[in-house]
């Protein structure tokens, strides 16, 4: 091959390389002059041509036509794959773990599952379950709060509106009355001893208790209080204990168990008695029966269980000897006339009750409890309760791990 044909081949390859660089010489789509073997417009090799294109095989053209080298087009990767297009079907669209709850349509549960789905763009209608009565308005809640407070001294704060509403709703359903206001008018018009009024009181109060709930108070009674007061009576006369919010009778019967097992033989001439009262007539009837389940008796010492309880199936029946010492009746702590009919007591238990009253109601109730105590008698209240700021008529007495209030 003569020099003229050789120069033509080199020039053809040079022009072709400038137009379409080899794929392995591309760098991010740019053509580097250092990777080229020919400079545009020249027919001679650059000094480093042998070193630079050593990896490229020499292509000998069999003709004078320039050879075209095919170039693979670049592959473009998208930043994110396109979202799948779901076709409308009876199957729900799978939810992503990041799906906002606000974007999930609420479906009426009463709709038949065989109904076809609504077409796209149909507005979603929210369906609420029907209730026996409308929601209690703020105005009606204020009326209920005033009525309850005037009758019982119990005060429902604003954040207890939902709690009161749920409790009253049960009475609406049972009495077939449609609205909260109608029910309030009904219980306001009937007498305070009417059955529905008492059932209402039961619905709004809490009756959770069990035997030997306050063991430190029981120990103080067994080791100090009863001995002290009986000796002051010259070991004769009467000794009366009042459980002022006795619920289903566990607190009152705890005192009956203690006196029957530990005290009667010490002071045979003393006439011991226990009185239990509650604003709820149904729990008073439960107390009179003296039948309990395992939850209520779980803290009773084994020796007491063996002597004074008879297990029948899954219930525990209290013995008649313990039941005879206690009596139960309905009484409202906010009704001074009710409390005066009970007489005087040597010890009063009013535990976990004052927390439901406001300051004025507490002062009234504590004043009634003070009047119901014999001089030298003791008042026990809940561990989380205090008479500080309520009454200074009592003397504070510290027993081991517990305190009591003594009437001078």
Give me 36's structure tokens: 């080229």
Residue 110 has pLDDT above 50, yes or no: no
pLDDT tens digits, residue range 209-261? 899 999 999 999 999 999 999 999 998 899 999 999 999 999 999 999 999 99
Q: Which pLDDT band, with edges at 50, 70 and 90, does 157 fall under?
A: confident
- Tell which wins on pLDDT, 266 or 38: 266
- Which residue, 358, 403, 364, 363, is CA-closest to 381? 403
Q: What is the DSSP string of 361-408?
A: HHHHHHHHHHHHEEEEEEEEE-TT---TTT--SSEEEEETTEEEEE--
Q: Which pLDDT band, with edges at 50, 70 and 90, does 29 fall under?
A: very low
- Name residue, tokens 């209030």: 405
Residue 356 has pLDDT above 50, yes or no: yes
- Name residue, tokens 């407070």: 149
Residue 54 has pLDDT above 80, yes or no: no
* Residue 201, pLDDT score: 85
Helix (H) or strand (E) holding 381: strand 373-381
Q: Residue 118's CB: how many other CB atoms inside 10 A?
A: 13
Average pLDDT over residues 323-351: 95
- Tell which wins on pLDDT, 19 or 326: 326
Q: What is the DSSP string of 95-132?
A: PPTT--GGGSPPPPTTS-TTSPPPPTTPPP-------S
- Which residue, 351, 127, 150, is CA-closest to 245? 351
pLDDT tens digits, residue range 251-270? 999 999 999 999 999 999 99
Residue 39 has pLDDT above 70, yes or no: no
Residues 6+ apart with CB under 8 A from 23: 71, 72
Helix (H) or strand (E) holding 402: strand 402-406
Q: Which pLDDT band, with edges at 50, 70 and 90, does 7 fall under?
A: very low
* Residue 90, pLDDT score: 47
Q: What is the DSSP string of 276-298?
A: EEES-HHHHHHHHHTEE-HHHHT
Query: Regarding beta strands 373-381 and 345-350, do their DSSP bridges make them parallel or antiparallel, or are they unpaired?
Result: parallel
* Residue 235, pLDDT score: 85
- Which residue, 322, 319, 315, is CA-closest to 294? 315
- Report the alpha-carbon angle 232-236-242, nearest 5: 75
* Phi-psi label, residue 241: left if phi above 0, alpha if psi -120 to 50, beta otherwise: beta
pTM of the shown model: 0.62
Rounded Cα distance between 143 and 100, Å, is 41
- Report the alpha-carbon angle 221-224-225, nearest 5: 55
Would you mind telling me the total number of residues written for the chain in this entry? 408
Q: Which pLDDT band, with edges at 50, 70 and 90, does 147 fall under?
A: very high
Rounded Cα distance between 282 and 285, Å, is 5
* Residue 74, pLDDT score: 57
Contact 38, 18 (CB under 8 A): yes
pLDDT tens digits, residue range 62-104? 445 555 555 555 555 555 555 555 454 444 444 443 333 333 3
- Which residue, 234, 258, 254, 238, is CA-closest to 246? 254
Query: Regarding beta strands 402-406 and 395-399, do their DSSP bridges make them parallel or antiparallel, or are they unpaired?
Result: antiparallel
Rg of the Cα atoms in the chain: 46
* Residue 160, pLDDT score: 87
Domains and their CATH numbers in the chain: 1-72 (no CATH), 138-204 (1.10.155.10), 215-406 (3.40.50.150)
Residue 206 has pLDDT above 90, yes or no: no
């Amino acid at each position: 091959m003569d020099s003229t044909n050789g120069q033509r081949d080199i020039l053809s390859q040079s022009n072709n390389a400038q137009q379409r660089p080899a794929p392995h010489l591309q760098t991010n789509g740019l053509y580097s002059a250092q990777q080229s073997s020919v400079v545009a417009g020249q027919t001679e090799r650059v000094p480093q041509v042998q070193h630079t294109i050593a990896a490229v095989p020499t292509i000998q053209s069999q003709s004078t036509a320039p050879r075209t080298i095919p170039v693979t087009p670049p592959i473009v990767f998208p930043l994110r794959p396109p979202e799948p297009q779901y076709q409308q079907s009876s199957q729900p669209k799978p939810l992503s773990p990041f799906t906002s709850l606000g974007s999930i349509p609420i479906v009426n549960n009463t709709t038949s599952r065989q109904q076809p789905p609504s077409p796209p763009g149909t507005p979603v209608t929210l369906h609420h379950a029907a209730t026996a009565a409308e929601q209690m308005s703020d105005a009606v809640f204020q009326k209920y709060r005033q009525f309850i407070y005037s009758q019982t001294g119990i005060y429902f704060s604003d954040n207890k509106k939902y709690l009161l509403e749920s409790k009253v709703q049960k009475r609406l359903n049972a009495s077939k009355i449609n609205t909260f206001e109608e029910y309030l008018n009904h219980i306001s018009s009937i007498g305070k001893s009417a059955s529905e009024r008492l059932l209402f009181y039961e619905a709004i109060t809490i009756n959770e208790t069990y035997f030997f709930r306050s063991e430190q108070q029981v120990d103080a009674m067994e080791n100090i209080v009863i001995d002290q007061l009986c000796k002051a009576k010259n070991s004769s006369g009467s000794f009366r204990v009042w459980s002022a919010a006795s619920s289903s009778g566990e607190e009152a019967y705890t005192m009956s168990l203690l006196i029957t097992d530990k005290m009667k033989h010490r002071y045979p001439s003393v006439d011991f008695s226990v009185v239990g009262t509650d604003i709820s007539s149904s729990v008073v009837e439960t107390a009179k029966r003296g039948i309990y389940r395992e939850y209520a008796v779980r803290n009773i010492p084994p020796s007491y269980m063996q002597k004074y309880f008879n297990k029948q199936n899954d219930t525990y029946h209290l013995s008649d000897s313990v039941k005879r010492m206690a009596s139960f009746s309905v009484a409202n702590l906010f009704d001074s006339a009710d409390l005066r009919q009970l007489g005087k007591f040597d010890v009063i238990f009013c535990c976990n009750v004052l927390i439901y009253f406001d300051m004025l109601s507490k002062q009234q109730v504590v004043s009634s409890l003070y009047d119901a105590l014999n001089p030298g008698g003791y008042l026990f209240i809940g561990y989380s309760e205090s008479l500080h700021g309520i009454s200074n008529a009592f003397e504070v007495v510290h027993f081991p791990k517990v305190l009591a209030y003594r009437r001078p």
